[in-house]
Each structure stands twice: as structure tokens, then as C-alpha cells.
Structure 1
Amino acid sequence: MRLGLNLGYSGSSIDNALPLVQHADEVGIDSVWAAEAYGSDAVTVLSYIAAKTENIKLGSAILQMPGRTPANTAMTAMTLDALSHGRMLLGLGLSGPQVVEGWHGVPYGKPLTRTREYVEIVRTIIKREEALEFKGEEYQIPYVGEGATGLGKPLKSILHPVRNEIPIYLASIGPKNIQLTAEIADGWLPIFYSPEREDIFNENLDAGFSEVGRDGSDFDIAPTCYVAMGDDVAACRDMLRPMFALYIGGMGAKGKNFYYNLACRYGFEEAATQIQDLYLEGKKGEATALVPDALVDECALVGPMDRIVDRLDAWKESRVGTLILGTMQPEVLEPLVNAL
């Protein structure tokens, strides 16, 4: 199992995070990941990190597919890969309807269809074996629909990529999306992953592998696991509860919150429902207080370093290939690298 580092929505605070990233590079952390929602973008952050590091891989967790055409994403990935001498890991995701329609101003559409077509187009461009032509439900290239001039023609990238294949990771939570991820991607970026409950996902992953004749050995499960190290376990849990409450309670409308659904699948339906109701009423403090200790302990690493290292055993015995640490504490990185 490898270790990664998740910077989250770092944006203008990247100067504060840079020493952490450089320390991670020095002690042997395999990858660093930058996120985006509706503020800072991930590409600029990764570009800056690429110039300031030597070996650490550069992952997007995630680039929002509705915010970029597939061709634009492929261009970005190839350019970052070239500038970093082959260190790019391309993490993609749809985001949710609130962001897709409320921020990017495009229809949410058919998520499975859009994802499948998007990944195929990106791979085709990066392979650079032929000019790009694609006729699908969501994407038609060259475009010939309403408003088209009729002058579009198939093109091939003028940039010769460093690699003809850049690993593509997908962020997915729902059963059908997870199955599609196992079918078409090189890796999976789950959040709130519990190594004790991975059987919840195995059926969908294995169905996706079977669909295309894979055995899964070449597939990287790379969850983000948040870390809070300190002597007081309860205080460490409290540091992470607001983030759990934000996702379970506020990341999506009722009926369209994938993180709420996941907490329910884990068996925390009563707590998740109360958290969501309170959060959507604006009672964020009350919602945060109801995040179960057991959920934090399963999906995060909290407490003294000895406790965290002991807990690492469950992750090592799981199907996880890259454990991405969500932390701003540089002192936790080297002990965890050594524990592996």
C-alpha cells in the first residue's frame, strides 16, 4: 500500500501547504492530490506543486468533468504530465447537480453515459493514434448540431505526450457508478471508505471487472482518509466531525446527497438523517455533534500516533492500493511511511 496526501481546496493558501508537500516528497509519500469545487481550481495548484517538487506524483481529486470539455481535460493532463516529466494522475468526477447546474450552468444529464464517453474521448486524445472523431449521446466531435458552422474537422493533438496513457481515476459513490469505474478506469477515488465495510463495494467493483475481463490487480483503490493526531482521541474526533457533517448534511439536496446515502449503507441511517435535517435547517453545530464516533473511527485515523499506526493494519489488509491522507500535520507523514 502506498501513501498519498490530499490538500483539499487549497487555493490561495497553497503557500502554507507547500512546506507540507515538499516534506511529503522528501519522506517518500507517493502522490499529492488537489481538489476543486466552486472556488480554487486544481490545475493551477498542481502546476505550482510540479515546479516545487521532484518525485511526488500529481493527482487531481478531482477535475470536474462538466466544467471542461473532454479535449480541454486531455490537453491539461498532457501538459501537466510533460511539465512534471510523467507524474500526472488524472482524477475525474461529475460533482453533483447543485454544482453542475448551479455553478457551471450545464445540465447534469446522464451521469453514467457522460462519464463513459468522457473517459473514452480523453484516452483517445492522449493515445494520439488518430484524429479525434466521436459520436455519442453527450458528445459529438466534430460538432454538427444546432448552431454548428459545418467547418469542424477531426484533429490530432499537436503536443506529443510524454506518455500515451495517463492513469485515470474516477470519484464515484453509487453502486452503478462504482461498477462503471471498475470497468473503464485505472483507479477509484472514494471518500469515507471503511476497510471493515468494503464488502459493500466489492460486488459492484467485481461486476465491473468481470464486464471487461479484468481481475482487478491493475486497479488502484485510493480513498482519502482524514487524519487528526493528538493525545486526546475525543478532541481529535471533534476536529473531523464538521467535515463529516458538511458532506453528510450539506453536500447535496435531500434525495441527491451521495454521502448521506453512503452513511446509510454503512448502517448509520438514523444519525445521518438527523445530521442532514439539522444541517439543512442551518443548525450546523447540532448536526456536527451527532456524527457518530464509530463512523469517524472507521473512516479516519485519529488519536495518538501509536493508535493511528495500529489502526493502519486494517487498511493494509484491505483492497486499498493508495491511502490518501487528509492532513495538514507534517509530523504524521514519516511515521506512517515507516509503518508501511
Structure 2
Amino acid sequence: MRLGLALGYGGEPIEQVLPIVERAEEIGIDSAWSVEEYGPDAVSVLGYLAARTERINLGTAIMQIPARTPAATAMTAMTLDVLSNGRFHLGLGLSVPWIVEGWHGQPYDKPLRRTREYVDIVRKAVAHEARVEHDGTLYQLPYRGPGSSGQARPVKADFTPLRPHIPVYLGAIGPQNVTLAGEIADGWLAGLYAPEHEKALTAPLDEGIARAGRRRQDVRICPILYVARADTAQEGRDQLRPLFAHLIGAVGAGARNTYFDLACQMGYEGHARRIREEFAAGRKADAVALVPDSLLDEVALVGPLPAMADRIAAWKESRVDTLILLDRDVELLEAAQAAL
């Protein structure tokens, strides 16, 4: 198992970020991953880090599919791969409806179809074998629909990529999305994940792998873990409890809460239903108090440094390829790397 670092870059001076990544590279951390929502993008910081590092892999977790055309994403991926000398991993995901429609002004429709077509176009462009053509439900290359000039022709990137295959990772939570990751992705960026519930959590992934005639080792499992270092485990849990109450309890109009579904799948259905009821009634403090300690212990890293390093041992015995820590604690990175 390898370790990764999720940056969660928020637009702060790069001098606050670079030393952490440099130290991560020095001690052998496998990868650094950038995040985007509706603030700083996931791409720019990696371009900078590509120039300031030599060995650590650089990935997006995630680049939002609705924010860019497939061709724009392919161009970005090929460029970052050149700048990093072949260290780039392309993590993609749909984001959530309120960001897709409220920020990007795009419809949140046919998510599985959109992801499948998008990845197909990106891979064709990166392969650089022929002019890119795609006649799909949601994407047409060349475009010949309403408003078209009728003069378009297929296009091929005007430079040769460093690699004809850049690894594609899908950020997926719901079972159908996870199955799709098993079918078409090189890696799965998982949300709530716990070694104790691995068989159930990976069942949709294995379904997709089998459907596509692939092998388990063809798809890397890469959970992103929330981290809360504290003097005691209880203090660490209490730092994360409000976040997990929101993840499990929030209910958007017309949207399914896949975090709620995952909590139920892991055996916490009673807790999850009560959290959702309290959250919906506006009693958020009560919802927070209902988040079980055992769930937090399973899906996050909490407490003092030695306990967090010990917990890494459970992950080493799992199917996880890369455990990505959403934190910038250099001491934790050092202790976790030493525990491998």
C-alpha cells in the first residue's frame, strides 16, 4: 500500500503548500492530489508543483467533468503530463447537482452516460492515434447539431503526448458510479471506505470489473480519508462529527444522499436514519451527537499520532492501493509512511 496527500488547496500563498509537498516527496509519499469545488481549480497548483518536484506523482481528485469539455480536459492532462515528466494522474468526477447547475450552469442529467462518453473522448484524444470522432448521446465530435456551421471536421491534437495512456481515476460514491469505475477506470477515488466493510463496499466495483472482463488489479482503490489529529481519540472524533453529520444527514430536493446509503451499507442504518431525521428537523447539534464513534474510527484517522499510525496497519491488509490523507500534517505523513 502507498500513501497519498490530498492538498485541499484554498488559494493561500504557495509558500504554505510547497514545503509540505517537498517533504512528502522526500520521505517517499507516492502522490499529491489537488481538489476543486467552486474556488481554486485543481489544475493550476499542479502545474506549479510539477516544476518544483521530481518524483512524487501528481493527481486531480477531482477535476469536475461539467467544468470542461472532454477535449479541454485531454489538453490539460497531456500538458500536465509533459510538465511533470509522466507523473500525472487524471481524477475525474461529476461533482454534485447544486455545484454543476449553480456554478457551472450545466444540467446534471444522465450522469453515468456523461461520464462514460467523457472518458472515452479523453482517452481517444490522449492516445493520439487518429482524429477524434465521437457520436454519442451527449457529446458529438465534430458537432453537427443546432447552430453548427456544418464546416467542422475531426481534429487531432497538434502535439504528441508524452504517454499515450494517462491513468484515469473516477471519484465515485453511489453503486452505479462505482460499477462504472470498475468497468472503465484505472482507479477508484473512494469516499467513505473502511477495511472492516471492504467486501460490501467493493461489490459494485467488482461487478463492473467482471462485466468488462478485467482483473481486480486493473483498478486501483484509492480512498480519501479525513484526518483529525488530537490529544485523544474522542477529541479527534468530535472534530469530524459535524462534517459526518452533514454528509450523512443532508437531503437535497430530488437528490439521493449516497453517503447516507453507504452508512447504511456499513451497518449504521439506525444511526443514519436518526441523523437524517434530526438534520431535517433543524436539530443539527442532536444530529452531530448521533454520529457513532465506531463509524468515525473506521472511515477516518483520529486521535494522537501513535494511534493513527497503528490504524494504518489495518489498511495495509486491505485491497487499497493508495491511501490518500486529506491533511497537511507533516508529522503524520512521516509517521504513516514509517508504519508501512
TM-score normalised over the length of structure 1: 0.94
Distance 2:288 2:148 in 1: 50
Distance 2:170 2:188 in 1: 5
Q: CA RMSD in A?
A: 1.8
How far does the alpha carbon of each residue in 1:195-247 deviate from its partner, in whole angstroms, 9 at most, with x for none? 11011133222221112221111221000122223331111112222332332
Distance 1:197 1:81 in 2: 35
Change (3 A) 1:277 1:301: same
| Superposed displacement of residue 33, structure 1 | 0.7
Distance 2:289 2:8 in 1: 23
Distance 1:198 1:289 in 2: 26
Match of 1:88 in 2: 88
The answer on 1:237 being equivalent to 2:237 is yes
Contact 2:226-2:325 at 8 Å conserved across structures: yes
Greater shift in the superposed pair: 39-48 or 123-132: 39-48
Match of 1:65 in 2: 65
The answer on 1:112 being equivalent to 2:115 is no
Distance 1:253 1:90 in 2: 31
Where in structure 2 are there 5+ consecutive unaligned residues? none
Q: How does 1:1-340 map to 2 (within 5 A)?
A: 1-12=1-12, 14-250=14-250, 252-253=252-253, 255-279=255-279, 283-340=283-340
Runs of 4+ in 1 over 6 A off after TM superposition: none
The percent of aligned pairs where both chains have the same amino acid is: 54
Q: What amino acid maps onto 1:89 in structure 2?
A: H
Q: What amino acid maps onto 1:31 in structure 2?
A: S
Greater shift in the superposed pair: 288-297 or 184-193: 288-297
How far does the alpha carbon of each residue in 1:65-92 deviate from its partner, in whole angstroms, 9 at most, with x for none? 0111100000011111111111110000
Secondary structure at the counterpart of residue 146 of structure 1: coil
Contact 2:193-2:201 at 8 Å conserved across structures: no
Q: What amino acid maps onto 2:143 in structure 1?
A: Y
Change (3 A) 1:285 1:9: farther
Secondary structure at the counterpart of residue 92 of structure 2: strand
Distance 1:115 1:255 in 2: 18
Distance 2:16 2:269 in 1: 37
Distance 2:247 2:258 in 1: 9
Distance 2:161 2:96 in 1: 31
Distance 1:52 1:252 in 2: 41
Greater shift in the superposed pair: 326-335 or 245-254: 245-254
Contact 1:11-1:41 at 8 Å conserved across structures: no
Contact 1:81-1:162 at 8 Å conserved across structures: yes
| Superposed displacement of residue 253, structure 1 | 4.4
Where in structure 1 are there 5+ consecutive unaligned residues? none
Contact 1:10-1:34 at 8 Å conserved across structures: no
Q: What amino acid maps onto 1:2 in structure 2?
A: R
| Superposed displacement of residue 29, structure 1 | 0.5
Distance 1:300 1:184 in 2: 28
How far does the alpha carbon of each residue in 1:123-182 deviate from its partner, in whole angstroms, 9 at most, with x for none? 000000000110011111100011111111100001211111100000111112111101
Distance 2:14 2:310 in 1: 31
Q: What amino acid maps onto 2:3 in structure 1?
A: L
Distance 1:208 1:97 in 2: 24
Q: What amino acid maps onto 1:141 in structure 2?
A: L
| Superposed displacement of residue 277, structure 1 | 4.4
Greater shift in the superposed pair: 264-273 or 214-223: 264-273
TM-score normalised over the length of structure 2: 0.94
Contact 1:9-1:37 at 8 Å conserved across structures: no
Q: What amino acid maps onto 1:228 in structure 2?
A: A
How far does the alpha carbon of each residue in 1:184-204 deviate from its partner, in whole angstroms, 9 at most, with x for none? 000000111111101113322
Distance 1:140 1:3 in 2: 39
Greater shift in the superposed pair: 304-313 or 211-220: 304-313
